[in-house]
Chains A and B, each alone.
Chain A
Amino acid sequence: MTTIIRVDVELHDSTAVARLDGELDTATVGDVAVKLRRLVENDQLRLVVDLVDVTYIDSAGINLLYAVAGELRARQLRLHLVVAPGSPIERMLTIVGATTAFPVHPTLDAALAAR
């Protein structure tokens, strides 16, 4: 195990927030997928994935975000992302078009305030 990631889940009213801390890559994406899907299955909730403390994301991680967003869409829900402006993560998500595909917020507060 050379990659470590932590997923903390918090509930804010009807919004589930998954805070990711660490590196989201091929090796960790499976664990994260299990945790995010558990939140998606509960369709009372909308989902915010906070990537501010993620230091690395690769195509496996990005694929997961697209897959989760697709599952939410089937329930008329949207995936919201929190991404630090100017961070390498933001650059990566921009390259693959994720910043236009999903609502992206600079802070968790902004994501929670958005409707």
Chain B
Amino acid sequence: MSGGLPSSETAIRELQRITDAALAALSMEELLRELLERIAAIMGTDTAAFLLLDEVAGDLVAQAAKGIEEEVEQGVRIPIGRGFAGRIAAERAAVAIEDVDHADILNPILRDKGIRSLLGVPLLVEGRVIGVLHVGSLTPRHFSEQERDLLQLAADRAAIAIEHARLHAQRTIVETMQRALLPAALPVIPGLDLTATYRPASVDARVGGDWYDVFELGRGRIALVIGDVVGRGVEAGALMAQVRTALRAYAMEGHPPAVVAERLNRLFATARPVKLTTLAYLVLDPAAASLRMVSAGHLPPIVVDPEGRGRLLDVSGDPPIGATTSASFREHEVPMPPGSRLVLVTDGAAEVRGEPLDAGLERLRVLSEGQPNARKLCEAITAGVVSGGPSEDDVAVLVAHLQPLPDRLVTRWPADPEALGGLRHLMRRWLVGRGAGANELYDITVAVQEAAANAVEHAYAPGPAAFTVEAEDSDGTITVVVTDRGRWRDARGQNRGRGLPLMEALMESVDVRRAGEGTSIVLRRTLEETAS
């Protein structure tokens, strides 16, 4: 053992401290600085520096330095293969320079600081170069074989710590992104139960890219999306954000599912590097009891019918979004009778390594049949019941249960204009189920909504403002009672007051009654049309 080097035993002990658990809690910057302190102490050198590989730019960037802090301040970048550090990264081997004055050194700071001798080694993780570690001496020094090995040993441990900190930081970013991008709360849609879960990957490096989304399209239709961006980490999270937003935009423009998929594909197929996304996009029309959908290379959705039989929808065959510029997508129409449950998942829910996907999907189908409670079903799927343990990948699950509507439907609504659309769509669904014809559907819905609008406008009684709607079908006679806690008021103003005449024109009878503290509007109409 030469010069100021510690005994190998001490050195090993010192090295061990490099990977101490304490370091895990540090930020990347603190970690690098701490590592340099310890490495410079072990090696007995005046300077030490980390340059990390910028994978996008393909060069080395000074990230932390001791004794040559200017390197970092000036953001020194060294191309792979050039200069001292670049050679180390290219050759993936240690390089020692005894006399800096007569060597190929790219970075003038090293010379300016009076460094005479340098030793550098690559930072390797699973054989990949992630950067370079070098130490320097202000007095001429010959680095022995043993010292090279010791520095490489320190670099190996540092590389693991750096990679770990990096993944951890990335995981935090991706998880924050993911959380920001998943709906904070699913929309509340009367007559439809929505449940969703997302579980991040159990392995740091695999996090990101799965998502689900639910939004309303107007006219009572609901958009349901589940998707999986191929790739991982921050890039996958960023792509997911783009695909999710683009899909929403195209869907809100009113395009049918196949057109939405085609436009998304056109948008992402020309991206380089290639960006692939599998997704299923479904539009549920509760009144029509049907789903229109498109699947871009995604796992087939499962529909459990009202009798409890589950089936995988036969929708395979179309490529993922971004796979080919010429892709076209087929739109499928699937019946969704009241009482049906729709189960959408991402790969992590059904895939088991070394097993055909069909086997996992079949277990998922059986599980979906057997668990009518949507919350418990979501929990079971994310817990890995199908795959026999939690997936390493992230998992997203979305379950939609279209509730059957009874002959007598009683609902309670907040006194808020925003609630009226939901009421109207629910009434429409209920009336379709009662066999109402097209005009009857429209007339009764308008009349009920007018009565409800009145309740909203007159919600001035103390206490939480709400109104109730009781709809009943008695042998084809529809009676709807809208009750609020306010007192009926004749509308004021020139362009008001069309509500009551409208109701009277649309229904056979309209009665306005005082009901305790509030007002009830009783609407009645006999169904005569034959539903088309």
Which chain A residues have a beta carbon within 8 Å of chain B's beta carbons? 1-6, 21-23, 25-27, 55-56, 58-60, 62-64, 66-67, 70, 88, 91-92, 95-96
Residues on B with beta carbons closer than 8 Å to the beta carbon of A22: 218-219
| Residue of B with least CB distance to A89 | B442
Minimum Cβ distance to chain B for residue A53 (Å): 9
Chain-A contact segment, one of B224-232, B272-280, B500-508: B500-508
Residues on B with beta carbons closer than 8 Å to the beta carbon of A92: 442, 446, 502
Known: A22-B218, A25-B424. A95 touches B506 (CB 8 A): yes
B216 contacts A by Cβ under 8 Å? yes
- Chain A, interface SS category: mixed
Whether the Cβ atoms of A59 and B219 lie closer than 8 Å is no
Size class of the contact patch on chain B: 20 to 34
B499 contacts A by Cβ under 8 Å? yes
Q: Which 3 A-B pairs have the closest CB atoms?
A: A2-B421, A4-B218, A3-B421
Known: A2-B216, A3-B420, A4-B216. A63 touches B498 (CB 8 A): yes
Whether the Cβ atoms of B453 and A59 lie closer than 8 Å is yes
Could you jot down 6 A-B contacts, CB within 8 Å? A1-B418, A2-B419, A4-B217, A5-B218, A59-B499, A63-B495
Whether the Cβ atoms of A3 and B218 lie closer than 8 Å is yes
Residues on B with beta carbons closer than 8 Å to the beta carbon of A88: 438-439, 442
Residues on A with beta carbons closer than 8 Å to the beta carbon of B456: 26
Whether the Cβ atoms of A26 and B417 lie closer than 8 Å is yes
Residues on A with beta carbons closer than 8 Å to the beta carbon of B492: none
Across the interface, B420 reaches (CB within 8 A) one of A4, A5, A27, A96, namely: A27
B331 contacts A by Cβ under 8 Å? no
B79 contacts A by Cβ under 8 Å? no
B483 contacts A by Cβ under 8 Å? no
Whether the Cβ atoms of B498 and A59 lie closer than 8 Å is yes
Further 17 A-B residue pairs, CB within 8 A, beyond A22-B219, A27-B421, A70-B495: A1-B421, A2-B425, A3-B421, A4-B218, A5-B218, A22-B218, A23-B219, A25-B421, A25-B449, A26-B417, A26-B420, A56-B219, A63-B498, A70-B494, A91-B439, A95-B501, A95-B502
Minimum Cβ distance to chain A for residue B249 (Å): 13
Residues on A with beta carbons closer than 8 Å to the beta carbon of B445: 56
Whether the Cβ atoms of B502 and A59 lie closer than 8 Å is yes
B70 contacts A by Cβ under 8 Å? no
Whether the Cβ atoms of B417 and A27 lie closer than 8 Å is yes
Whether the Cβ atoms of A4 and B252 lie closer than 8 Å is yes
Known: A5-B218, A23-B219. A95 touches B449 (CB 8 A): no
B305 contacts A by Cβ under 8 Å? no
Whether the Cβ atoms of A21 and B254 lie closer than 8 Å is yes
Q: Could you tell me which residues of chain B, from 413 to 446, have a CB within 8 Å of some CB in chain A?
A: 417-422, 424-425, 438-439, 442, 445-446
B496 contacts A by Cβ under 8 Å? yes
Whether the Cβ atoms of A58 and B218 lie closer than 8 Å is no
B14 contacts A by Cβ under 8 Å? no
B193 contacts A by Cβ under 8 Å? no
| Residue of A with least CB distance to B252 | A4
- Chain B, interface SS category: helix
Residue picked from B418, B421, B449, B505, most chain A C-beta under 10 Å: B421
B473 contacts A by Cβ under 8 Å? no
Give complex CA distance A27, B417 in Å.
Answer: 5
Residues on A with beta carbons closer than 8 Å to the beta carbon of B254: 6, 21
B37 contacts A by Cβ under 8 Å? no
Give complex CA distance A47, B172 in Å.
Answer: 54
B450 contacts A by Cβ under 8 Å? yes
Whether the Cβ atoms of A1 and B498 lie closer than 8 Å is no
| Residue of A with least CB distance to B190 | A2
Give complex CA distance A27, B453 in Å.
Answer: 10
Minimum Cβ distance to chain A for residue B83 (Å): 59
| Residue of A with least CB distance to B438 | A88
Residues on A with beta carbons closer than 8 Å to the beta carbon of B419: 2
Minimum Cβ distance to chain B for residue A54 (Å): 11
Give complex CA distance A40, B417 in Å.
Answer: 26
Give complex CA distance A94, B438 in Å.
Answer: 17
Task: Type the 1/0 row for B390-413, where 1 means its CB is closer than 8 Å to any CB of A.
Answer: 000000000000000000000000
Whether the Cβ atoms of A58 and B417 lie closer than 8 Å is no
Give complex CA distance A66, B438 in Å.
Answer: 27
Residues on A with beta carbons closer than 8 Å to the beta carbon of B217: 4
Minimum Cβ distance to chain B for residue A2 (Å): 3
| Residue of B with least CB distance to A67 | B495
Whether the Cβ atoms of A25 and B499 lie closer than 8 Å is no
Whether the Cβ atoms of A58 and B450 lie closer than 8 Å is yes
| Residue of A with least CB distance to B419 | A2
Give complex CA distance A21, B420 in Å.
Answer: 18
Give complex CA distance A60, B502 in Å.
Answer: 11
Minimum Cβ distance to chain A for residue B292 (Å): 17
Whether the Cβ atoms of B453 and A26 lie closer than 8 Å is yes
Give complex CA distance A3, B425 in Å.
Answer: 10
Give complex CA distance A95, B499 in Å.
Answer: 11
Residues on A with beta carbons closer than 8 Å to the beta carbon of B418: 1-2, 27
Across the interface, A23 reaches (CB within 8 A) one of B187, B189, B417, B421, namely: B421
Known: A2-B216, A2-B418, A2-B421. A62 touches B498 (CB 8 A): yes
Give complex CA distance A102, B495 in Å.
Answer: 15
| Residue of B with least CB distance to A92 | B446
